[in-house]
Amino acid sequence: MLKGIAASEGIGIGKVMIVEEHSLEYTPKTVTDTAAELARYRDAVDKFCEETTEQADALRKSTGDKEAEILEGHIQMIKDPFMGGEIEKLIEEGGQCAEAALEQMCNMFIEMFSAVDDDVTQQRAADVKDIKSAILAILLGIKVVKISDAPAGTVLVAKEVTPSMTAGINKENIVGIVTETGSQTSHSAILARALEIPAVLSVEKATSTLSSGEQIIVDGSTGDVVTAPSEAEISEYSAKRDAFLREKRELENYRGKKTVSASGEEYELFCNIGTPKDATKAMEADGEGVGLFRTEFLFMDRNALPTEDEQFEAYKQAALVLKGKGLIIRTLDIGGDKDIPYLGLEKEENPFMGFRAIRYCLKNRDLFKSQIKAILRASAFGDIRIMFPLITAVEELRAGKALVEEAKADLRASGIEFNENIPVGVMTETAASGVIAHLLAKEADFFSIGTNDLTGYTMAADRGNSDVAYLYSPFQPSVLIMIKRIIECGKAEGIPVGMCGEAAANPMMIPLLISFGLTEFSVSAPSVLKVRKNIAKWTKDEADKVAEKVMSMATEAEVLDYLKGIV
């Protein structure tokens, strides 16, 4: 039995096909004929764009527009004036060979995106890595492996399944995917889910442990990979596969329905997004709005700040897609661990406790005001709400609101329309915000609980540190007490309280949130129907009994043992 990350649900039973990677090693050299080397690089980019366009067209036919856009985004990235221009400059002015120039610039972007503690942004590092590998292969004359000829009943096993590889997948023949890298939000996972192929990612040494032709079972719901399965195991997992497919069909019964508990309480079921295009995915998933629009993407992958107009167009586009449904836009959450070279941020020993998010914005008023004005302008086109991240003191909320009023005054003077009564809320994601929630609730229009950071700050545990991973859980009693307090303080002041952290989609957390009085759940688009179904299972009285029991427990282990037994 091998173990990895459950990335795409379902059960796949089939024979292994190892996708081997070719070496992309080369010897860097200085070139004297820079014009010829530049032409060589441009020819490689042209070929990359041509091949990628063909792959995107194939992917559009097999999965749809939104998955094809991943590959089309690769073309946009390499053609970006900053990335492509800097590579050409390294060749023209630096005398570097095309391979070295490409690798130097791509590695800079990979390092920049990888440093951000945000899955969506980190995936952009994977995009750049994919671009680098593809163009290097063209420059080196290497023929990239194609998997379109895989026979029926194949389980693909690779170090990584890239978007370009998946373009050739015949989903009728591929029953499972296993990789050595990747996460639930990586493109490997996104595309596997779009193709409805069970996938387990980050299985250590999968390509060397497994052999082509051997039969395995891939459980994309648990992250298990069963090697050399017995007849009894094959029979057991076949039954699980059939049950999974039945449940999937049943979920469609919740499409187009309100999000209602068994006792009739209604909830808002929103989605988390990172780009305006993600708003379309949220609507396709039957989301009822957007509970978290991360705005960092607008500031990444460029060499200068986005203008107010650029930001306005992005927020307006999302608002128009939502057609009047709620859109909560989180102001820039940058700084510390989220390094953007052109901002010139200083390195910090402890970035999570440092100069980031609202702290950075309040010290960079022009940047902050530009974003606020863009959001305000977009509010004329939909139900937009502003949310400040990493609030730890009432002064920060007041300073942010004061800047909103300044921005409103500027727009009035210019005769520009906006929503005068735009709600301004707080992302409660620190222990401090939980402790003073009763004070913040008097001055905020809404709360949204960010459980990822709230857990880390409350437990003083870095989720990326394996030595303290046992502490990083939203089911720790201290975190549950904090969540309950934040919701109760919001209710006491009559403001809505949502949750946009990953815990909002956890079936074991749902009865607790119903009991505590949460009003809005914001989850990933693929989780919408499942969350709606899970909410529909509980009456308020049943949830209250569960919460009463849980809140009397002293350890996370007790909480989880109990909840696993009833969910």
Q: What DSSP letter does each residue of 211-230 carry, written as one string?
A: -TT-EEEEETTTTEEEES--
Check if the beta carbon of residue 216 is closer than 8 Å to that of residue 227. Answer: yes
> Which residue out of 74, 97, 106, 187 is catalytically annotated?
187
Tell me how crowded residue 120 is: count the other CB atoms within 10 A of its CB: 18
Given 97, 106, 489, 500, the catalytic residue: 500
Between CA 229 and CA 1 the distance in angstroms is: 9
The number of beta carbons lying within 10 Å of the beta carbon of residue 211 is 13
| Closest alpha carbon to 44 in 163, 131, 162, 130 | 131
Could you tell me if 52 and 73 are in contact, meaning their C-beta atoms sit under 8 angstroms apart?
A: no
Cα→Cα distances 557→332, 344, 541, 554, 561, Å:
36, 44, 24, 9, 6
438 among known catalytic residues: no
CB-CB contact of 380 with 417 (8 Å)? yes
97 has catalytic annotation: no
Nearest to 353 by CA among 457, 266, 250: 457
Burial 218-230 (b: 16+ CB within 10 A, else e): bbbbebbbbeebe
Q: What is the DSSP string of 446-461?
A: -EEE-HHHHHHHHHT-
Residue 7 contacts residue 201 (beta carbons within 8 Å):
yes
Residue 409: CB atoms within 10 A of its CB come to: 10
Catalytic residues: 187, 500
